[in-house]
Amino acid sequence: MGETVTVPHRSAFLALRRYVKPAVQEERCDLCGVTLAREHRHLFEIANRKIVCACDPCALRFADVIGGRFKLIPRDVRALPGFRMEDAQWDDLALPINLVFLFHDSMAGKLAALYPGPAGATESLLRLGAWPTLVEQNPALAGIAPDVEALLVNRVGAARRYFIAPIDVCFELVGLIRLHWRGLSGGNEVWREIEEFFARLQARAKPEEVERA
């Protein structure tokens, strides 16, 4: 069981513009209204998990802010090629899809696990008791920035891919799945899009050495 987390239109679908046909309407900074470049910064509105588009001057105002309404989302994706996660630890999450992203929700004061589906992102209500063990096994997880970075897990089929990814990238995946999902099982197109999404992510990721506990 889980509760549906509404993914805002801007966070889920406008982020997909780099992968779909160019939109006619130009994007503007949500804070000052200036026209944005195709590649621009994002802020995370903590209270409602909303991705906000921002120009560089507006975005950089929040670079070192502690607390407050917005946080600047980082750009780097870090691959975790040596990540340790046992099948039993994964099974404990009891997710209906083999994709999930986990991040520290500072507003709720807890670790949140969201998985994408045709209706958006759904939050698991299960206790995430395995997290401390995962951090012990993979010390890189201790450095995840609250709210704006997540552990993104892909265990679809034979895939075993793990990344520390910006939160907007995670919601981008949510939007991609909403856009391409067909029928009960999703259809071939959505699984092809998911595979291509992670191939792009792997290509831009910086490998991070995973220390052994």
Q: What is the pLDDT of residues 38-61, one digit of tens each?
A: 899 999 999 899 999 999 999 999
pTM recorded for the entire structure: 0.85
**Higher local confidence (pLDDT), 64 or 85:** 85
Is 97 contained in some domain?
Answer: yes
Residues 129 and 195 in one domain: yes
| Cα separations in angstroms, 129 against 12, 82, 86, 104, 115 | 29, 22, 14, 14, 17
Overall domain count for the chain: 2
Is 132 contained in some domain?
Answer: yes
Residues 34 and 93 in one domain: no
Is 4 contained in some domain?
Answer: no
Q: Is the dihedral of CA 83, 86, 89, 90 positive or negative?
A: positive
The last residue of a domain, from among 18, 43, 72: 72
Q: Given the DSSP bridges, would you call strands 206-207 and 78-79 parallel, antiparallel or unpaired?
A: parallel
Is 2 contained in some domain?
Answer: no
Q: Using 50, 70 and 90 to split pLDDT, how confident is the model at 211?
A: very low
Is 213 contained in some domain?
Answer: no
**Higher local confidence (pLDDT), 208 or 149:** 149
Range name among 17-21, 23-27, 54-58, 66-70 with the lowest pLDDT average: 17-21
Is 212 contained in some domain?
Answer: no
Residues 195 and 94 in one domain: yes
Is 118 contained in some domain?
Answer: yes
Task: For residues 114 and 95, give the distance between their C-alpha atoms in angstroms, rounded to a whole number.
Answer: 9
For residue 151, the cross-strand partners are 102, 164
| Average pLDDT of span 190-207 | 94
Domain hosting 47: range is 9-72
The last residue of a domain, from among 24, 40, 72: 72
Residues 20 and 98 in one domain: no
Is 3 contained in some domain?
Answer: no
Residues 186 and 154 in one domain: yes
- What's the pLDDT at 143? 94
End-to-end CA distance of the chain: 33
Residues 31 and 84 in one domain: no
Task: For residues 198 and 173, give the distance between their C-alpha atoms in angstroms, rounded to a whole number.
Answer: 9
